[in-house]
Each structure stands twice: as structure tokens, then as C-alpha cells.
């Protein structure tokens, strides 16, 4: 069967549903069959904007559970601030609801922070972690990252992310609310400690681009603190190598190549 035929078959097996999770009506999709692999999107994003390029490829080999977090995409909001701790708890409760005892996790950007927090707070449900473009301390970002957030407004949000949200919700107030909560979450960001990072016992794969939000030096440091970690730095920018909607390059084979390397890590 060709890759296109396999991808089409995977799409036909898609399940799209909601689950009651900690006061949320939480949206999730299940694609494909095999060992469970949870995908956690970036800030301001949806399943498709973060993973539209790689999800069909991963679903040819795994049971992919893709989630949308509080106030993002199809998932409802609640009267509380966003936090990576709460997001991690939400994902853990969703997996319990789905009767999945253990899974691999792949998180991109802010979703990588959530995945890392799952590795710290809920180690029993983690098989392997893939942290894409993720930092654990404020000084691990490119110069000016947090300073830029201080003055950021909805106008600075990438158009493809705004358009994706509005296609799902057609609610400009909801879009502003999501932006505000995402921004505040990052402005309140506090470093994880080295001890917390060292507590992650699951095999961990760190991936970033050479021109990413995360510095290469910081990623190397993370790879040395997490006991069972390996690191890959790829050509490209934040998310380009997985085909994230704001960074995808037309005709690039990098997303396919990245999936092949991820598959090798997961299948060991």
C-alpha cells in the first residue's frame, strides 16, 4: 500500500469526540492503531496547526491521541488561568477516561512544556517523551523573547493561528481570551528546577531547530540533566521541521524525515 493510501486509510479511522475533564469539555481525536502516542499542540494552536503535516504520517504506525487544551480549538474554557501543571493534569485525566494506562507523549513548544510537566507530575503514565522546541528556564530562550511578550497584543498573533481558531469558533471574544490566557501563562512562567528535570526517568528525545526560540546551548544542558535523554538539532526555525502552519516550507521533506527519526526513537 502506498503512503498516500495508508494516510487516507488512517484518516478514515479517525475518531473526534469530547470528554468531561476537570470542568472542561475537552476535545480529542484518535487516529490510527498501535501503541498510543499523545500529541500536545503549541500555544494559540490547534491539533491541525501544530501537527497537520506529521499527524497522518504518525497515524500510519501508532494510535495517535491528539488533544486540544483549555480554551484552544474545540475545547471549552473554565474560570481559571492556564498553567502547565493544570494542562498536564487535564491530559492525565483524559487518558484515564480513555482507559489508556501508559503512552508516549510528543509536545511542541508550550505543548512540550505540558509534556515535560507530565513526565514530572505523572511519570507512571509515560513510556517515552518527545519534547519539541521546549525550554525549562527563562534564560533558555532567544534574546528578547520574554521582553516581547510584555507588550504583545492580539495583533501580534500569527494570522494562520487566528484564522484556525475562528474557523472552529467564529468568536473573536474567545480568540482574545485564549490569547490573553496564553500570554499571561508565559509572563508568569517560573523555571523548573534541575532536580525536577532530573526526576524525569522516561527515555526523552529533545528536538529543536538551529534557529529556534530555544537556544542550542540550553537544549544541550537539558539533555545532560534528564537522565535518559538524547538531543537532535535540525535545520530550520521554530516548528518548520514538523511542518507547523506558521513555519512550514512548501515542498520540504523535513517533516517526513523528522517523523522517521521519531519513529526510530519510539520503536527502540
Series of mean pLDDT values for 10-residue runs along the chain (268 residues): 46 85 98 98 98 98 98 98 98 98 98 98 98 98 94 96 98 98 97 98 98 98 98 97 97 97 97
CA distance 94 to 26: 8
**What angle is formed at CA 235 by the lines to CA 212 and CA 257, rounded to 5 degrees?**
115
**How many of the other CB atoms lie within 10 Å of CB of 16?**
12
Length of the chain: 268
Inter-residue contact 27 to 75 (CB < 8 Å): yes
Q: How many CB atoms lie within 10 A of CB 10?
A: 21
**Number of structural domains found in the chain:** 1
d(CA 15, CA 27): 11
pTM across the whole model: 0.95
Q: Which residues of 157-173 are buried (b: 16+ CB within 10 A; e: fewer)?
A: beebbbebbeebeeeee
Residue 103 structural domain: 3-267
User: What is the reported pLDDT for 12?
Assistant: 56
Q: What order do you get walking across the sheet with 15-21 strand by strand?
A: 15-21, 24-31, 63-67, 36-40, 103-108, 126-132, 204-211, 229-237
* CATH assignment of the domain containing 182: 3.40.50.1820
> What are the grid coordinates assigned to 62, written together?
501508532
Amino acid at each position: 500500500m502506498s503512503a498516500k493510501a495508508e494516510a487516507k486509510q488512517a484518516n478514515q479511522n479517525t475518531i473526534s469526540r469530547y470528554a468531561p475533564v476537570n470542568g472542561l469539555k475537552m476535545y480529542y481525536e484518535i487516529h490510527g492503531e498501535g501503541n498510543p502516542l499523545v500529541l500536545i499542540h503549541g500555544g494559540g494552536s490547534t491539533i491541525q496547526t501544530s501537527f497537520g503535516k506529521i499527524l497522518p504520517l504518525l497515524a500510519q504506525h501508532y494510535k495517535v491521541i491528539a488533544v486540544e487544551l483549555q480554551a484552544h480549538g474545540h475545547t471549552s474554557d473554565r474560570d481559571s488561568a492556564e498553567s502547565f501543571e493544570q494542562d498536564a493534569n487535564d491530559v492525565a485525566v483524559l487518558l484515564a477516561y480513555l482507559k489508556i494506562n501508559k503512552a508516549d507523549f510528543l509536545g511542541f513548544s508550550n505543548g512540550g512544556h505540558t509534556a515535560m510537566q507530565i513526565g514530572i507530575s505523572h511519570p507512571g503514565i509515560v513510556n517515552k517523551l518527545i519534547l519539541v522546541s521546549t525550554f525549562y528556564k527563562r534564560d533558555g530562550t532567544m534574546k528578547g523573547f520574554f521582553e516581547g511578550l510584555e507588550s504583545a497584543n492580539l495583533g501580534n498573533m500569527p494570522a494562520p493561528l487566528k484564522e484556525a481558531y475562528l474557523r472552529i469558533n467564529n468568536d473573536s471574544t474567545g480568540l482574545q481570551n485564549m490569547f490573553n490566557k496564553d500570554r499571561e501563562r508565559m509572563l508568569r512562567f517560573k523555571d523548573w528546577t534541575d532536580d525536577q528535570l532530573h526526576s524525569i526517568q522516561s527515555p526523552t528525545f529533545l528536538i529543536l531547530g538551529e534557529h529556534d526560540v530555544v537556544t542550542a546551548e540550553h537544549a544541550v544542558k537539558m539533555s545532560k540533566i534528564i537522565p535518559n535523554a538524547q538531543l537532535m538539532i535540525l535545520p530550520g526555525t521554530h516548528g518548520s521541521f514538523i511542518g507547523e502552519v506558521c513555519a512550514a516550507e512548501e515542498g520540504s521533506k523535513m517533516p517526513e524525515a523528522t517523523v522517521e527519526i521519531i519513529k526510530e526513537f519510539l520503536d527502540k
